[in-house]
Amino acid sequence: MIDALEFLRGRKEFFRFLILDWKVTVVLLFQSKIKNLKFLHAVCFLKVTTDVLKDSYGRAIRDLRVSVTDRCNFRCFYCLPHGEPPSAPKEQMLTYEEIVRAVEVFVALGIEKVRLTGGEPMLRRDIETLISKLAGVGGLRDLALTTNAFNLAERAAGLKAAGLDRVTISLDSLRRDSFARMTGVDMLGRVLEGVRAAQRVGLTPVKINSVIVRGHNEEEVADMAAFAREHGVSMRFIEYMPLDSGHGWSRKQVVSGAEIRRRIEERFPLEATGGARGSDTSARYRFADGAPGEVGIIAPVTEPFCGACSRVRLTADGQIRTCLFSKVEHSLRDVLRSAASGEEVADYVRAVVLRKEPRHYINETHFEQPARTMSLIGG
């Protein structure tokens, strides 16, 4: 192994990678596509997959959510009801080069999945360029994007061509009036076109996120399950969390995961999909009659899954957040913009992950909503 690295040292295509520790070098070897080094690739891959970023509670951190912008063109009442707070100055936002460098380090430390989010990530100019750079990060197994789909119909093919694996689309109602009331925009038709386009170009499996809020869309839950069956998509129902910028969340508005399941099963019996939930945040079900599509129920308020959390988040302005509800942030941006070596950046990330909170405190009396709300964190 060491001999092999010695052999590579000084060669242009590897030079950049050898500034990091050997795990990082390994990841980038995948990009080299040098045929006669297959054995080295295999050996290294084994090492990378056994190397895991762990927090102080022993949870393996495998998923990174990267927010690429704070801006959004929708006004979902459960997220950004009163318009956007002033945008952070441009120089505080991570550049594409900085995002790629950060992702390379995270992947070298064991991150397997990266999801781009926001705000609305499709508003960041030329997101396809970032996607194509990230798609080239060796060792990254899954590159996804969460979007409100306002312009997905036109851009789905380009996203796929850039190297995006799949999309998650937010869709809270199948009724035009209710969709407009919940999101603040009259764009149901465009979003549905976006779902079809994503399927057509192979950004699959397409997942759909629907936040269920009492008095708004709980009566539609079974209709949305019918949509999943008809279109063969994974419909994920999410409990409303106290992360709205209007601070209007109340427990009375939370429709529990148990109620969501009951409402679906009144029409379509469900079967839990086999296997452990692992770090998946959703309890997953198939339709008992074998129909296509899938249901996921994400119940962070009534059935917290913090013990299995595998996530960290990077905000658009370069702050690591180890929990959606974190009270503290860690400026990876400052580290990236210092003269830190790759190994120093990696050490910083390891140290931050060790400070990941044990759980959220939504159900405890001292709970306070974090200062940053969902669109500023990256859901």
**Nearest to residue 245, comparing CAs of 366, 371, 117?**
371
Query: Could you give the C-alpha distances from 95 to 90, 270, 273, in angstroms and in order?
Result: 9, 44, 40
Rounded to the nearest whole angstrom, what is the least distance from the CB of residue 170 to ligand SF4 in the complex?
A: 6
80 forms part of the interface with ligand SF4 (CB under 6 A): yes
The footprint of ligand SAM on residues 200-219 (CB under 6 A) is 209, 211
Instruction: Answer yes or no whether residue 282 interacts with ligand SAM by CB under 6 A.
Output: no
Structure tokens at 191: 């979003």
Answer for the pair 373, 80: CB distance below 8 angstroms, yes or no.
Answer: yes
| Candidate ranges 27-35, 74-82, 270-278, 287-295; the one touching ligand SF4 (CB under 6 A) | 74-82
Residue 61 contact among ligand SF4, ligand SAM, none, beta carbon within 5 to 8 Å by kind: none
Cα separation, 213 vs 219, whole angstroms: 10
How many CB atoms sit inside 10 A of residue 176's CB?
12
CB of 174 to ligand SF4, least distance (A): 17
Helix (H) or strand (E) holding 285: strand 283-287
Q: Does 179 bind ligand SAM (CB under 6 A)?
A: no
User: Pick from 20, 77, 114, 117: which binds ligand SAM (CB under 6 A)?
Assistant: 117
Phi/psi of residue 287, each to 5°? Answer: -80, 130
30 exposure class (CB count in 10 Å sphere: 0-12, 13-18, 19+): middle
Residue 148 within binding range of ligand SF4, rule CB under 6 A: yes
Instruction: Give the containing element (helix H, strand E) for 231.
Output: helix 221-231
Give, in order, the Cα–Cα distances in Å from 105 to each of 270, 341, 343.
40, 11, 9
What are the tokens at 358? 């044990």
Q: Does 76 bind ligand SF4 (CB under 6 A)?
A: yes
| N residues, the chain | 379
Minimum distance from residue 95 beta carbon to ligand SF4 (Å): 21
Nearer to ligand SF4, 83 or 275 (CB): 83
Instruction: Rule CB under 6 A: say whether 63 interacts with ligand SAM.
Output: no
Smallest gap, in angstroms, from Cβ of residue 298 to ligand SF4?
A: 14
Q: Which is nearer to ligand SAM, 44 or 159 (CB)?
A: 159
- For the four alpha carbons of 299, 305, 311 and 315, in that order, the dihedral sign comes to positive
- By a kind-dependent CB cut-off of 5 to 8 A, residue 318 interacts, out of ligand SF4, ligand SAM, none, with none
Query: Interface with ligand SAM includes 245 (CB under 6 A)?
Result: no
Q: How far apart are CA 300 and CA 306, in angstroms?
A: 8
117: partner contacted, choices ligand SAM, ligand SF4, none (Cβ within 5-8 A by kind): ligand SAM
Contact call for residue 69 and ligand SF4 (CB under 6 A): no
Residues contacting residue 223 through CB under 8 Å, at least 6 positions apart: 174
CB of 329: closest distance to ligand SF4 in angstroms? 19
The rounded distance, in Å, linking the Cα atoms of 176 and 263 is 21
206 binds, among ligand SF4, ligand SAM, none (CB under 5 to 8 A by kind): none
Binding site for ligand SF4 (CB under 6 A): 72, 74-76, 79-80, 118-120, 148, 170, 374-375
Binding site for ligand SAM (CB under 6 A): 72, 78-79, 117-118, 120, 146-148, 170, 209, 211, 238, 240-241, 243-244, 374-375, 379
